[in-house]
Every structure is written in structure tokens, then in C-alpha cells.
Structure 1
């Protein structure tokens, strides 16, 4: 009987220890590593035509492998100069990565893909808040908004609080009583 109790206690310890295993921070953010590089990274693939889920790597001009597809399901760019946009394996998070393959921000999902660049800026997210980055991946307006439109005629409409809902046509909509406009530096327009 004593042996059965020891076995049960041992098994329950191991099953509990899995729950208390220290977790790495999946949403840790890194900085852009190189903004003025002359060494573009090129995507190479084992297959002639690159498709979602294929193994690939980003290599530099010397042929050194810099980023592998180990944690990446798909990449939206075939070259990286300052940053790339990828879908992570397992979670399918749409993220921006630096030249080392590290997360620099999440990319705002629009129309089943990364947000479009509008007037030189596109929407990004960090810790659930929306901001704007330029085509080099530099964060121009820090993520701080709950909802934000893309820029049009130098102006974006943003809010610190909004409610998201689906309309009758199943399109995601946002509602807020406190929308305001900002310019491309993030300054509020009165």
C-alpha cells in the first residue's frame, strides 16, 4: 500500500510540475537591429515556388543562414533590409521581425493580411495597443490607441477606448464616443 501511495504522489508531482514550469515571454519585443545595412537578406526555399508552410531560410549575400523557418509558418516578403513580416508557427500571429528574426511588434491584420502602407505608415500593435510604423519598420507613433484608422490626407482617426462588434454582413466594426484625429507625427488635431 505504501508503494502505491508513493507512486501516486510521484505521478501527481510530475503532472503538477508541468503547470508550474517557467514560461518564456512569447510577446517579448526587440528593437530593429540595423537600419542602414547594405546587406539584404534573401529568402531561399527548397521548393521552386514558395508556399505557406514550406521550409525556407533568409540568407545574407555571403550565403550565411541568418533566419530559419523553424518558428515561422509564412513570410510576406522575399527580402529583408530592415524588417520582415511573418506568420508565426503554431499561433499564426502576424508579426514584424528584425534582421535577427526577433519580434519587434505585431502587424495589424487587415483584409486577411498585413495592414497596407498608407501615406508611408501602417498600423502595428504592441501589448494590444495600436500605433504606426513606417516602411522601414521604425515605430513613428507609439502603440497607445484602442482603435485607429489608416492615414488618409495626412490624418488618422483614433481613440483610446472603443467597442468592437460584427455588423449584419459579418464585418468587424468599431464604435467609440471619443474619436479624435492625429497627424503623421501623432499630434492631436483640434
Structure 2
């Protein structure tokens, strides 16, 4: 006879398989935001009406109820968890993030009147009274272990441990953090969450300089990746476009360098290439490259992506009008000639 224990184990196994199959079927469906009848709470359901996340999140912000959710995670602004945090702390949660099956993932950090931005592919999250970093797929890449952390910049982030608190500027709107203990300290970490020691002299031409000391150049590339970076760097027209409106930019000191800050993922199959000037991000100098590296686009998260040639033509048309109004700008160049050249180039297939 088959023992009762074996039967129970078999039934448990079958239940797990059926549950997994049901969840997989749900994830293949399109997901949509929905609100309660009084429009005070918001949740997420499948196209067929199955509720993935009950409508319990505060209805803050703009949600498109007709457009399916295309991101790998689902996030809501606002959380009851905020009441557990002192206003004196330099951190507090700004909302809640879930996966596409409705599983809670983490509380994103409150920053700039909302949810923390992604910088170089990572954003800060709060766990208890500590800060860590999560990626765009909702994976907690670096565990929460610091009193506070700044966003990633050129492959590094400054973190704070040992006790820190808010100090408000005059007027009470903006604040910065100050040490609250003799044990307070700050240092840089890399994207593995490791503390990185500085050295006094450069060991690589592109080592990261901070406060007169240097940190190891944090980027490594395959030959194909380096080739696409060189292609962008050697396009003088990109530097012409970015330098044109700048009155205090000396060309040789303000040329863009490019680094890959994100690589292709399931939900975003592109390389993300950030432009830096003197190792500081140029906010509008972001490009994405297709996974096969055949196509380059200019990228802004809040705008439609444009093929490189189209973006260059658009920028040159704007600059043509700009230089007609301000012909004596120090970084003036022959826009009509450049425009004619780029318009005559064949479109990428």
C-alpha cells in the first residue's frame, strides 16, 4: 500500500505545479492599473480581470488605465511605512515596488519629492533604517547596510555609516546630512557594494578623481563594446551640438567621454551609453545601442527615442535658428554645412 505520507507529498507537488502554471499564465497576460470607485486607491489586474495587486496604494500621480504596464516592476508612490521614520533621519520610503506576479520587492528611497531616480542602472531603496541599491528588474543588487547613500556617479557611490542626520538649510526646504557621532564616516563603494580605497597618483588615464585622490577606472569592455564607444566619441558633431550654447566651455576641456552604464536586459534590450564631461554626467547626452550594436539612438526616458541621424538633424535645425539670433557665441560652427551633410547621409536600415 502507498503510505498516506507519500500521497500527501504527491498532492503537495501537484499543487505547486498547478500554482506555478497559473502564475505563469497570468504573467503572460497584459497588466493594467485600476482604481477604486472613489479614485482614492490603485492596484493592478490582468487583462482578463484577475487582481494581481489589490487596490490599496494611494492614488498619487498619473496612471494610464488604458495602456498596459510594460516595465519589469510595478511601483506606487506613497506608503503607510513612512510613519515609522523620524523626520530627523536622512532616509524614508517613498513608495512600494512589486514584481509582475504581485510580490512585494522593496521600498524605494524618498528623493526630490518622489521616488528615487535610477542612476547608472541602480536606485536606492530603504530596508529598516538602512539604504541599499536595486536594479531596474527589481533585484536588490547591493544589500541595505548604510545610514545613507548618494546615487552612483562614474561607477561609484558615496555611502555614510556610523550615525548621520538631516541638517536643513535656511528656509527649511532643502537639507543635507551631517555627522551625529564620533564614529560617523563616509567612503566610496563600487557596484559590488565594496569599499574602495583611494590612491594619490593616477594608475590609469581615466581613473576617477575625487577631492584630489583617485579611484580605479571602473569600466571594462569587450572589443565590440569599445568599438561602439569609439564610434560615438569620434563623432565631432555630437561635441559641436553640446558645446554650442555654452559660453564658458573651452572645447579641449569639455569634450564628451562615453561609458556603458547598462547592458541589454529582457525588458530593455539596449546598451545605455552615458556621456560625461570631466567625469560628470551630461544629463542630455544619453544614447542607447541595439543589442546587436547595429543601431544607435538618442535617449530620454520621457521622450520617444530617435535614431542618431534624426536626432542630429533635429538638433542642427534648432541650432541654425539659435546661431542666427546669437552669431557671436564662442562655440559657433557652420551649422548649414553640417546640416546638409547629415541630411544627405542615407538612413540606417
TM-score range, shorter chain: 0.5 to 0.7
Whether 2:195 is the aligned partner of 1:188: answer: yes
| Residue in 2 that maps onto 1:85 | 75
CA distance 1:40–1:73, shift in 2 (3 Å): same
Give the secondary-structure state (helix, strand or coil) at the position aligned to 2:141. Answer: strand
- In the TM superposition, residue 113 of structure 1 has moved relative to its aligned partner by 0.5
CA distance 1:181–1:91, shift in 2 (3 Å): closer
Deviations 1:71-104 (A, max 9, x none): 2113667626543222236968522233454543
Q: Give TM-score scaled by structure 2 length.
A: 0.38
Which structure is richer in relative contact order (CA contacts within 8 A, separation 6 or more)? 1
Whether the aligned pair in 2 keeps the contact of 1:39 and 1:81 (CA below 8 Å) is no
Give the secondary-structure state (helix, strand or coil) at the position aligned to 2:153. Answer: coil
CA RMSD in angstroms, aligned pairs only: 3.0
Give the structure with higher Rg (CA).
2
Give the secondary-structure state (helix, strand or coil) at the position aligned to 1:117. Answer: coil
- In the TM superposition, residue 57 of structure 1 has moved relative to its aligned partner by 3.6
Report the more deviating stretch, 136-145 or 158-167. Answer: 158-167
Whether the aligned pair in 2 keeps the contact of 1:40 and 1:81 (CA below 8 Å) is no
Whether the aligned pair in 1 keeps the contact of 2:106 and 2:127 (CA below 8 Å) is yes
| Residue in 2 that maps onto 1:115 | 116
Divergent runs of 4+, >4 A: 37-40, 75-78, 89-93
Give the secondary-structure state (helix, strand or coil) at the position aligned to 2:59. Answer: strand
Partner Cα separation in structure 2 for residue 81 and residue 40 of structure 1? 11
| Residue in 2 that maps onto 1:173 | 176
| Residue in 1 that maps onto 2:99 | 98
CA distance 1:188–1:98, shift in 2 (3 Å): same
Whether 2:141 is the aligned partner of 1:156: answer: no
Partner Cα separation in structure 2 for residue 127 and residue 45 of structure 1? 29
Report the more deviating stretch, 166-175 or 123-132. Answer: 166-175
CA distance 1:80–1:56, shift in 2 (3 Å): farther
CA distance 1:80–1:103, shift in 2 (3 Å): farther
| Residue in 1 that maps onto 2:57 | 72
Deviations 1:153-175 (A, max 9, x none): 11100011223221224212112
Deviations 1:10-59 (A, max 9, x none): xxxxxxxxxxxxxxxxxxxxxxx99xx54442213478xxxx95444412
Higher helix share: 2
Partner Cα separation in structure 2 for residue 113 and residue 74 of structure 1? 14
Structure 2: state its 5+ residue gaps.
1-22, 84-93, 198-349
Partner Cα separation in structure 1 for residue 29 and residue 192 of structure 2? 30
Structure 1: state its 5+ residue gaps.
1-32
Partner Cα separation in structure 2 for residue 172 and residue 99 of structure 1? 35
| Residue in 1 that maps onto 2:32 | 42
- In the TM superposition, residue 68 of structure 1 has moved relative to its aligned partner by 2.3
Higher strand share: 1
Partner Cα separation in structure 1 for residue 194 and residue 40 of structure 2? 43
Whether the aligned pair in 1 keeps the contact of 2:130 and 2:145 (CA below 8 Å) is yes
Whether the aligned pair in 2 keeps the contact of 1:130 and 1:146 (CA below 8 Å) is yes
